[in-house]
Amino acid sequence: MSSKSKSSFAQWSLVIFWSLVIGHWSFAQVPPPPTTSNEILKRMTIDQKLNNQIPLDLVFRDETGKEVQLKNYLGGKPAVLALVYYRCPMLCTMTLNGMSAAFKPLKLEMGSDFDVITVSFDPRETPELAAAKKSTYVKEYRRAGAENGWHFLTGDEKSIQALAESCGFNFFYDPKTDQFGHASAIMLLTPDGRLSRYFQGIEYSSNDLRLGLIEASGRKIGTKTDQLLLLCYRYDPSTGRYGLAIMRAVRIGGVLTLLALGSFIFFAVKRERRKLQIAKPS
């Protein structure tokens, strides 16, 4: 073998070696999906880190693709922070709908009294997706100032993980379904970026939100709320498959509604029969 061939062989060997090392390292950074119900629940919890400082220097991209830092949206007023992903088939949309419904009755004005920061925790999502979501919810909000007050951000995995960790927001990615397992909550931030309060679920009281924003604006820190988590995923050990937990909740709600309706009809008919029997001449 010539010296030139030996040199080429050595270079290619080095490339292959480092490709394997880097590939193994990259793969190790993404934890495998959980395999048991307990592990799934642990990976989908929200740890309320009240008074924790979120990292304001994290870099994301806004709806136009421009690089921004979280401190661009904080400083003079409180903010509502929501971690979602824009392609979520159900729960994230319900979270955003709940936010929009809670914002509408507020006397506080988005953009002047408070900001809303929505961050996708899927690093593959683009500013185009963020822009489409922003257009939908700004239009639905139907109040001046929303365009400059409601921000939809995307970012890389490093920034997303740092923000999620600072908020205690846990989630995982399931490659089989190309979806994320996560819970639903929104958080209030003080003007200096400290976690003031958590609101769990997908429906938020406008009055509680108003009081929470007023407290946050005064840099007051609330107390922990009860953990009533609405989860986007469920793992069924008997089938070895993931399913939407929200669908289970909807089914249970439907059954309960039918039972309630059936009970109402049963007792209404029974009451009418009694009336007829009393009214019958002897």
Q: Which tens digits make up the pLDDT trace of 199-223?
A: 988 889 999 999 999 999 998 887 7
Question: Is 160 inside any structural domain?
Answer: yes
Domain of 197: which CATH number? 3.40.30.10
Residue type, 74: L
Considering the domain architecture, whether residues 43 and 159 belong to the same structural domain is answered as: yes
Query: What angle (nearest 5°) sits at the alpha carbon of residue 120, between those of residues 117 and 126?
Result: 110
List the structure tokens of 88: 């979520």
Question: Is 10 inside any structural domain?
Answer: no
Tell me which of 231 and 278 has the higher pLDDT: 278
Which residue segment(s) compose the domain that 198 sits in? 39-236
Considering the domain architecture, whether residues 270 and 157 belong to the same structural domain is answered as: no
Considering the domain architecture, whether residues 144 and 99 belong to the same structural domain is answered as: yes
| Residues 251, 50: Cα–Cα separation, whole Å | 34
Domain total of the chain: 2
Q: Which tens digits make up the pLDDT trace of 92-136?
A: 999 999 999 999 999 999 999 999 999 999 999 999 999 999 999
Question: Is 17 inside any structural domain?
Answer: no
Considering the domain architecture, whether residues 184 and 121 belong to the same structural domain is answered as: yes
Structure-token match 């030139």, residue found: 4
Mean pLDDT of 16-45: 50
Q: Are 125 and 154 in contact (CB under 8 A)?
A: yes
pTM more than 0.85: no
